[in-house]
């Protein structure tokens, strides 16, 4: 059971914005801001020394200027911290968007690509074959899912590290129960159940991430 083409197209569509954010994070937003600020400070110091030499200004004036510059430095350091924290929140928002899209896409893959196909074939007498087929399809989906999110990291840790193999087992149990419930295939019914299940997975992912970086 192959992944639906629309899902792969969708994952490719969200990659550029995630790649851009990841590149800035890897280089370090703080490094960029600090580098620019240090350059500005050096220019100011050079200007003050030049002004002192040219116009013969007293040391007192230079010291006052340096004091003002020190005050500005402290202010910028605080603003720098606020900017970095703001960017971290933006990065988490992008990660949330990626995870929600990836999981919701796989939710539809499970419903349409696995449950529907097997139920509509009406060939479920051999339960061993069905279970192997379901597990094989889910293994492929989960492997692709971890590969997709594993391209990105948060604070140096790949997003796939916050996933759990237990998720596969939860989805597997749901699929088997749905296939053998004795009912005809109704997408709305199974999507409703899968939505509850996948919402729990989303919550656990971010709980795992928060535990890792809890201060």
- Does residue 155 carry a pLDDT above 50? yes
Q: What average pLDDT does the segment 145-153 reach?
A: 90
How much is the pLDDT for 210? Answer: 87
User: Which H/E stretch holds residue 153?
Assistant: strand 153-154
Mean pLDDT throughout 99-107?
91
Average pLDDT over residues 151-162: 89
Least confident of 17-21, 37-41, 104-108, 166-170: 17-21
Model confidence at 107: pLDDT above 60: yes
Alpha helix positions (H), the chain = 5-27, 29-55, 59-108, 117-121, 127-149, 165-179, 187-212
**pLDDT (tens digit, 9 = 90+) per residue, 109-119?**
999 889 999 98
pLDDT at 214 over 60: yes
What confidence score (pLDDT) does residue 120 get? 85
| pLDDT over 90, % of the chain | 35
Rounded CA gap, 92 and 72, in Å? 30
Give me the sign of the Cα torsion angle 53, 57, 63, 69: negative
Q: Is the pLDDT of residue 177 over 80?
A: yes
Sign of CA dihedral 170, 127, 107, 8: positive
Q: 9 and 101 in contact (C-beta within 8 Å)? A: no
pLDDT interval class at 179 (50, 70, 90)? very high
pLDDT of residue 88: 57
Q: Are 91 and 154 in contact (CB under 8 A)?
A: yes
Average pLDDT, the chain: 75
Q: Give the pTM.
A: 0.63
Confidence band of 156 (pLDDT split at 50, 70, 90) = confident
Residue 139 has pLDDT above 90, yes or no: yes
Q: How confident is the model at residue 14 (pLDDT cuts 50, 70, 90)?
A: very low
Q: What is the mean pLDDT of residues 172-195?
A: 92
What are the residue ranges spanned by the domains of the chain?
5-212
């Amino acid at each position: 059971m192959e992944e639906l083409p629309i899902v792969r197209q969708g994952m490719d569509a969200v990659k550029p914005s995630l790649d851009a954010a990841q590149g800035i994070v890897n280089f370090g937003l703080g490094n960029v801001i600090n580098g620019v600020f240090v350059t500005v400070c050096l220019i100011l110091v050079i200007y003050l020394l030049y002004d002192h030499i040219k116009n013969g200004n007293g040391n007192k004036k230079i010291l006052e200027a340096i004091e003002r510059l020190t005050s500005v430095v402290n202010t910028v350091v605080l603003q720098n911290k606020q900017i970095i924290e703001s960017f971290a929140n933006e990065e988490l928002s992008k990660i949330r968007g990626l995870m929600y899209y990836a999981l919701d896409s796989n939710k539809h893959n499970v419903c349409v690509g696995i449950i529907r196909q097997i139920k509509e074939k009406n060939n479920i007498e051999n339960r061993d074959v069905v279970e192997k087929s379901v597990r094989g399809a889910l293994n492929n989906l989960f492997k692709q899912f971890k590969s997709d999110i594993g391209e990105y990291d948060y604070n140096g840790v790949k997003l796939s590290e916050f996933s759990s193999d237990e998720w596969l087992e939860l989805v597997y149990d749901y699929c088997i129960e749905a296939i053998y419930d004795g009912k005809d295939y109704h997408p709305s019914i199974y999507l409703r159940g899968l939505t509850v299940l996948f919402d729990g997975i989303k919550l656990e992912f971010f709980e795992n991430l928060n535990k890792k970086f809890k201060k």
